[in-house]
Structure 1
Amino acid sequence: MSKWTTANIPDQTGRTAVITGANTGLGYETAAALAAKGAHVVLAVRNLDKGKGAVDRIRQTTPDADVVLQELDLSSLQSIREAAEALRTNYPEIDLLINNAGVMWTPKETTADGFEMQFGTNHLGHFAFTGLLLDNLLPVQGSRVVTVSSMGHRIRAAIHFDDLQWERRYNRVEAYGQAKLANLLFTYELQRRLTGAETVALAAHPGGSSTELMRHVPAAGILTPVVERLFQDAAMGALPTLRAATDPAAFGGQYYGPDGLLQQTGHPKVVGSSDQSHDTALQQRLWAVSEELTGVTFPV
């Protein structure tokens, strides 16, 4: 059986894809691949200067690429609402929403709204952004919401409802695990709510990928030679996301990751997630808390 690559992406002409964190790493590779297949791609980025650089790089490879920028800071609910309003106005129909942006193992800090940075950006930011855009996906046949999680959802991961914002203590690894577990709980609960709708929700993880996400890893500079040998590049790491977003055979609730040893590297396939991520009561409790914290409710 042949391995899935970007060559398997169907023609995307006429489709609109919104990708968060698309100016570098996995998001950039996802945007470049979709643009090369004819999609109109919106790079939703915090840093517009870096975003312009990403647009230029995509157009160097695909001169007729249809790519634009939208400012979005997922650590600010105000920015999320402003970006969503602009996108709702400009794109009555959205085919793909790819929740890719994220931070990993950051020092203790909070978002503009007082949320712990990893939980606030990786989960609550995308929760709010998706809820505000979903009306523009629901009428579109074949529309998808793809959220990027991580193998970190298995590492010391739990939803600490008694201290979601890590105000009593802080462990950067556990906080990342909580955020990435939340991404999967969100995806599975969203898919349950979308039952019977045109839109489906899927998740993906990149395995071990060498990207800027590693910048907060302690001794990252020292580890770089090791990372380069053991991890795959961002283009390979983006393949699970791309397959979840475009494979005609994919369906709601699936989780894609690399097919290699321990899902570290390789080509994308359907993979399993932790038992905890499939806990329906946990999914629903997190959903209710996320609505309360963000003030965003979903039309499903």
Structure 2
Amino acid sequence: MTSNPAWGESTSALEVAKAYAQGIEGKNVLVTGVAPEGVGSGTALAFASQKPAILILASRTKEKLEAVASSIRASYPGVDVRTVTVDLASQATIRKAAVEVAGLISKLDILVNNAGVTYDTRRWTVEGIEMQFGANHIGPFLFTKLLLPLLEKAAKDQPAGATRIVNLASHGHRLSTIRFHDYNIENKEVPPEEKPFSPMPPAFSRVCEDGYMPTVAYAQSKTANILFTLYLQEHLKSKGIMSYAVHPGSVSTNLGRDHDPEMAEAIAKTAKYWKTPDEGASTSLVAALDPALNERAGLYLADCQFFPAAEHARDPKIAERLWKLSEELIREKFDLG
């Protein structure tokens, strides 16, 4: 259970940051996927409001990063804001970015893997991995691996569990498990347990001419975010590091800018309440800062409270299998000791 059960869908991330100011002041924080008017910018602004030591903003587009950094500096002149360019669809740039981060800080207290993509047509990462799985899961998987020594160093000086890794997922994970026999969504034959769940609205069940299923690809990547979190929880406890996955809610951002009208309408119908970027960031702040969560208190949060993830997203055996596949796709071991 979280410390504040009264918080919900309309809670402000700034309010959460103020409540847990001691967990931010003097700490080093890194947020990925930062762009104007997005959940990442709302997350970064909330952290900035409570005097972090160094706040690192990481994203693909330098101009968008600088726009958010300038806004933060104008609102909070005393905050040391740094920017790092990283493309989560390119493992080479991820490695370069991790080296850059290590040159800026000697330890990392909070990592928020906020970045995410969604597309209606097939795209590939530089390494030839289906884009949504590659950028939404494999990219953060590698980035987290490379930053782990900084997190471990921070954890040595903090109460157990206060050092956090937060992974943004989505309720969309309920539509698909991991397609181990067809993770690139190439219309290969898969066993029954890996087939899309039904019934789904026509827009969500659409299959492109090349066999690509965009909604299933997105759902698979979000399931991966939660299973990644589960594995981290079970293997980082001894190092004093805790991890949680979050659903930010329905936020009006540019994430779905490539959706066609049918898909955009289908997604809109799933939303009961449209959040601002500040409200969309609040659950990430709870996951990152609530001291009641130092001890493993759940896995997945939505609207600032714990929420049940689908069964296939909380199976340790599936999590371990995904971990091994992810290691294969980054071509090295991610050993947690």
1:154 aligns with 2:196: no
Letter matched to residue 161 of structure 1: F
Q: Which residue of 1 aligns with 2:44?
A: 31
Normalization by structure 2: what TM-score? 0.81
Determine the C-alpha separation between the residues in 2 that align with 1:287 and 1:47: 29
The answer (yes or no) to whether the contact 1:131–1:296 under 8 Å persists in 2 is: no
Residue from 273, 279, 282 that aligns with 2:309: 273
Q: Which residue of 2 aligns with 1:127?
A: 141
Q: Which residue of 1 aligns with 2:233?
A: 191
SS at match of 1:138: helix
| 67-76 or 57-66, larger mean C-alpha shift | 57-66
The answer (yes or no) to whether the contact 1:256–1:270 under 8 Å persists in 2 is: yes
The answer (yes or no) to whether the contact 1:104–1:176 under 8 Å persists in 2 is: yes
Q: Which has the larger radius of gyration?
A: 2
Q: CA RMSD in A?
A: 2.0
Residue from 18, 21, 34 that aligns with 1:10: 21
Q: Which residue of 2 aligns with 1:256?
A: 301
| 113-122 or 10-19, larger mean C-alpha shift | 10-19
Percent identical among aligned pairs is 35
The answer (yes or no) to whether the contact 2:229–2:299 under 8 Å persists in 1 is: no
Normalization by structure 1: what TM-score? 0.90
Letter matched to residue 120 of structure 1: G
Determine the C-alpha separation between the residues in 1 that align with 2:96 and 2:132: 21
1:73-88 alignment runs, 5 A limit: 73-88=87-102
Determine the C-alpha separation between the residues in 2 that align with 1:285 and 1:237: 31
The answer (yes or no) to whether the contact 1:106–1:118 under 8 Å persists in 2 is: no
The answer (yes or no) to whether the contact 2:177–2:313 under 8 Å persists in 1 is: no
| 282-291 or 161-170, larger mean C-alpha shift | 161-170
Change (3 A) 1:32 1:220: farther
Q: Which residue of 1 aligns with 2:283?
A: 240
Q: Which residue of 2 aligns with 1:261?
A: none
SS at match of 1:216: coil
Q: Which residue of 2 aligns with 1:213?
A: 255
Q: Which residue of 2 aligns with 1:164?
A: 183
The answer (yes or no) to whether the contact 1:135–1:299 under 8 Å persists in 2 is: no
Change (3 A) 1:135 1:26: same
Letter matched to residue 121 of structure 2: P
1:214-233 alignment runs, 5 A limit: 214-219=256-261, 223=265, 230-233=273-276
Paired residues in the alignment total: 289
Q: Which residue of 1 aligns with 2:31?
A: 19
Determine the C-alpha separation between the residues in 1 that align with 2:262 and 2:302: 24
Q: What are the superposed Cα offsets for residues 208-233 of structure 1, whole Å, 9 maximum, x if unpaired? A: 11111121232189859x68984111
Q: What are the superposed Cα offsets for residues 224-245 of structure 1, whole Å, 9 maximum, x if unpaired? A: 9x68984111111111001101
TM-superposed CA distance for 1:105, in Å, is: 3.4
Change (3 A) 1:163 1:92: same
Determine the C-alpha separation between the residues in 1 that align with 2:20 and 2:331: 36
Determine the C-alpha separation between the residues in 1 that align with 2:264 and 2:163: 42
Determine the C-alpha separation between the residues in 1 that align with 2:299 and 2:263: 35
1:61 aligns with 2:63: no
The answer (yes or no) to whether the contact 1:202–1:255 under 8 Å persists in 2 is: yes
Unaligned stretches of 5+ residues in structure 1: 259-267
Q: Which residue of 2 aligns with 1:264?
A: none
Change (3 A) 1:197 1:222: closer
Change (3 A) 1:91 1:296: farther
